[in-house]
Amino acid sequence: MADQLALDEVVEFTSGLIRIDTTNRGDGDCRERPAAEYAAAQLSGAGLEPLLLERTPGRTNVVARIAGTDPSADALLVHGHLDVVPAEAADWSVHPFSGEVRDGVVWGRGAVDMKNMDAMILAVVRSWARQGVRPRRDLVIAFTADEEASAEDGSGFLAGRHPELFEGCTEGISESGAFTFHDGSGREIYPIAAGERGTGWLRLTARGTAGHGSRVNTENAVTRLAAAVTRIGEHRWPLRITPTVRAALDELATLYGIEAGATDVDTLLEKLGPAARLVEATVRNSANPTVLEAGYKVNVIPGEAVAQVDGRYLPGTEAEFAATLDELTGPDVRWEFAHREVALEAPVDVPVFARMRAAVEEFAPEAHVVPYCMPGGTDAKQFSRLGITGYGFSPLRLPAGFDYHALFHGVDERVPVDALHFGVRVLDRFLRTA
């Protein structure tokens, strides 16, 4: 079991990593190297030999391997990203890069996404070094750059240019799973991610005839774009239930005493109450308009207008997603993928999932572990190109009223110290037995 020093170090490392500003605005100005050097130093202190790898100067990744006791076993990838989304200090109760520990809580950008998991990994590895522990299978530890943008400088670079570092890896774990979801009626649900919707960030371009704002113009690019954006925003996507989502619905239905096969999905979601939040975003594809760009003067009709749309699609539905966009945009608006990544599906009836479940239940006997599909995406998409099946497993035991999902990219991001301690214990248990 993780020692007391590991419990102290996970708090220290979470705070220390938060204090290193690795803001990724998506325009290439991020610099993860100081955080990578911090992580590498902790790995070196555990007797490992981490590699620091860059595609672009300053956009640094860290990779290290821990040899397992069973050379015939497949390797396991354990990865976390070092970059974070921007934070406006004026909006926060504490400075977002202070890493302040106050009233048993660590505050700052990255506290849940995902420097907490990075710190857990470091704390567990160092605890093993002190105790002389080795895992059953090889572990490849990776801390990546650029996850909050395209991943081109991070997991994409590692998978494309350094696949040899991940030799033997068949499965991987990373963010967004095994956290406490309180349903409001006393149940504590721990969703473990076994799938991700695909990423389809879209650029829409409408062209028309430029002219004077006082003139009649039936070929107004802004009007054409606005109509297409409205159609997209108001579209009701059809139900598409993947195996992971079906498994989640079945387990939740059993938990709540509902006959899953006797009702339609929308009715089932209504009966699940607050627990429906775990699956309602992944029973359909989605496309949300997020950015509009047009014009430069009120009395000038521009010849072009542009919009950006955040699209997400379930496994097996990419062709349908594209065909639907063709219909919704219409003949006067052209659309293209600005960024595109695959949807993922991972099996839940396999030993690695059972071991994750067992590790959570050992330290949270009251837990109801269920699989779920992430509505967004992670570095698991890039590592899937190497044949690595990805799961979301960054365990946290959270108190009632702690809105985990709202803190992802939100104001006053924070994580309880007790949650970090729980995470270290569960991660230690799982990685020893995985």
Q: Count of alpha carbons within 13 Å of 287, Cβ hemisphere only?
A: 30
Contact 183, 274 (CB under 8 A): yes
Contact 78, 62 (CB under 8 A): no
Contact 181, 372 (CB under 8 A): no
CA distance 165 to 63: 8
Does residue 302 sit in helix, strand or coil?
coil
> Distance from first CA to last CA of the chain, Å, rounded?
15
**Please, which residues have CB within 8 angstroms of residue 327's CB and are 6 or more apart in sequence?**
none
- Concatenating the DSSP letter of every residue in 254-283 gives HHTT--GGGS-HHHHHHHHGGGGGGTGGGS
Contact 320, 231 (CB under 8 A): no
- List the structure tokens of 161: 């240019």
**N residues, the chain:** 434
Neighbours of 44 (CB within 10 A): 12
Q: Which residues are catalytic?
A: 83, 147
Q: Count of alpha carbons within 13 Å of 346, Cβ hemisphere only?
A: 30
- For residue 96, the one-letter residue type is P
Contact 51, 64 (CB under 8 A): yes
Contact 350, 248 (CB under 8 A): no
**Please, which residues have CB within 8 angstroms of residue 394's CB and are 6 or more apart in sequence?**
80, 114, 116, 117, 120, 173, 174, 175, 176, 177, 178, 179, 423, 427
Q: What is the gyration radius of the CA atoms in the chain, in angstroms?
A: 23
- For residue 87, the one-letter residue type is A
Angle at 433 (CA atoms; ends 392, 113), nearest 5 degrees: 25
For 124, phi then psi, to 5°, come to -65, -45
